[in-house]
Amino acid sequence: MLSSLVRRPGRVGLFVLTLLIIEFLDELVFGAREAAWPLIQADLGLTYAQIGIILTIPDLIANIIEPVMGILADMGRIRWLVLGGGLFFALALVIMALSPSFAIFLVASILLHPASGAFVSMSQIALMNTDPTRHEQNMARWTFAGSAAVVTGPLVLSLMIVLGGSWRETLLIIAVLTLIVVAYAWRFPFKNGAVSEDEEEMSFRDGLKGALEAVRNPKVLRWLVLLQCSDLMLDTLLAFLALYFVNVAQIAPERAALAVTVWTGVGLAGDFLLIPLLERVRGLDYLRFSTLIELMLYPAFLLVDNFALKLVILGLLGFFNAGSYSILQAGLYSTMPGRGGIVLAADNIFGLAGSLVPLGLGLVAQNFGLEATMWLLLIGPIALIILLPRNAQSVSVEV
């Protein structure tokens, strides 16, 4: 499996593997937390509106801060952003694990999101800089590492519960692992792929100008919109999945955790198979096909009542979700080769509006019910079918 993730031997291969482990840790937190929402809700006495706030406010603040990080990354500060972000990432997990109330949990989440931006998003930029000619393939590896973690997260949570622990101990263990990875990553230089010996280093003002211009460029804007739309059937669906099974389908929390594991587990298989597939098939062609399948499967998932049948359809949804993030994110990076920081900055500037989506969905669930809210997620695949580009290659944008 490691040979599928890392193609280059030696120090470069170890560096790539370290970056993939960083993504694994980030998604391990996400996978464990999403499966634990019913437990967290009961433990802290959270309402749907408060869950919507937790899913929205930290992301909104991170989207304000992360453009600055992206510009600093292109200015050659990427190494310190990754290492410092890792330390704050671990600290946020400790605070979250010790949270006695909604307010403290929210503060920990607010710290965690920008820390993740520095620790994880900058690592993604570093991965893209290792080989600008293989963005789709490397993003597929990155996504597989994250998917493996999302599957592992609920399993770790379940194991901790069996051993007498809870979601709190799970987060503390991940915090310790994060510190170990930060210590190992310290040995590597994080070179900026945009700056060569004969190229003048970009100023912060130039980076900010480039990010604002990128957001207004129609070629970049399309990829940004597509990424936000695809997230409705990815992270947004996962955020509400356990709650849907418990509160709408009337399934016990442990069976809801099984449903999350099925969705993420089959999705993991899809992400793994996508790595060799992208060596033979154009990513956008596959994505258009898989989105059509997804558009038929999701309504069927919501309409059937039988739990076993729901699990089968959910597994198929997880399988055909594979590639939507990695292919679209690779397309965005390819519009601005070597300027991963500006890509991140543009993504976060545009993402300010997208970060309000979970809050909006939480309010809809509070007022109209979670079942009605789940139907709104169909907007994602419908938008992808309409907006996916038809051209054979992404067009680079000069910044």
For the segment 213-246, what is each residue's pLDDT rounded down to a tens digit?
777 788 888 888 899 899 899 888 888 888 888 8
Domains in the chain: how many in total?
1
Residue 396 lies in a domain: no
Q: Is the residue at 397 inside a domain?
A: no
Find the CATH number of the domain harbouring 134. 1.20.1250.20
Output the pLDDT for position 295: 93
Helix crossing, 48-72 with 78-97: angle to 10°?
160
Please check whether residue 380 lies inside any domain of the structure. Answer: yes
Residue 399 resides in a domain = no
Is the pLDDT assigned to residue 374 strictly greater than 50?
yes
Q: d(Cα 178, Cα 120) in Å, to the nearest integer?
A: 11
Which residue segment(s) compose the domain that 318 sits in? 7-387
* CA–CA distance, 89 with 174 (Å, rounded to integer): 10
What's residue 175's pLDDT?
96
Q: What is the structure's pLDDT at 5?
A: 54
Averaged pLDDT for residues 322-342: 81
72/98: higher pLDDT: 98
pLDDT at 202: 66
| Predicted TM-score (pTM) above 0.85 | no
* % residues pLDDT > 70 (the chain): 91
Q: What is the pLDDT of residue 261?
A: 79
Decide if 101 is inside a domain.
yes
Contact between 275 and 369 (Cβ < 8 Å): no
Q: Helix %, strand %, coil % for the chain, to 5? A: 80, 0, 20
Asked whether the predicted pLDDT for residue 97 surpasses 90, the reply is yes
Q: Is the pLDDT of residue 195 over 80?
A: no
Please indicate, yes or no, if residue 36 is contained in any of the structural domains. Answer: yes
| Average pLDDT for 348-356 | 74
Q: Which of 122-126, 148-152, 198-202, 369-373 has the lowest mean pLDDT?
A: 198-202
Q: What is the mean pLDDT of residues 367-372?
A: 88
d(CA 103, CA 53): 11
Q: What is the pLDDT of residue 107?
A: 95
Nearest-angstrom CA–CA distance, 82 and 124: 10
- Tokens representing 127 are 């991965």
Which of 378, 175, 217 has the alpha carbon at shortest distance from 294?
378
**pLDDT for 395:** 46
Helical segments of the chain, H only: 2-5, 10-44, 48-72, 78-97, 102-116, 122-130, 135-162, 167-185, 204-216, 218-230, 235-247, 253-277, 283-303, 307-320, 324-335, 340-354, 357-368, 370-375, 379-387
Q: What average pLDDT score do residues 104-118 get?
A: 94
Contacts with 308 (C-beta within 8 Å, 6 or more apart), sequence order: none
pLDDT in tens, 63-80: 788 888 888 887 778 888
Question: Does 394 map to a domain?
Answer: no
Q: Name the one residue in this structure whose structure tokens are 């310290």.
A: 186
Mean pLDDT of 152-171: 89
Q: Which two tokens stand for residue 2?
A: 């490691």
The 8-class DSSP code of residue 231 comes to G
45: left (phi over 0), alpha (psi -120 to 50) or beta: left
The arithmetic mean of pLDDT across residues 345-362, rounded, is: 77
Check whether 13 has a pLDDT greater than 50: yes
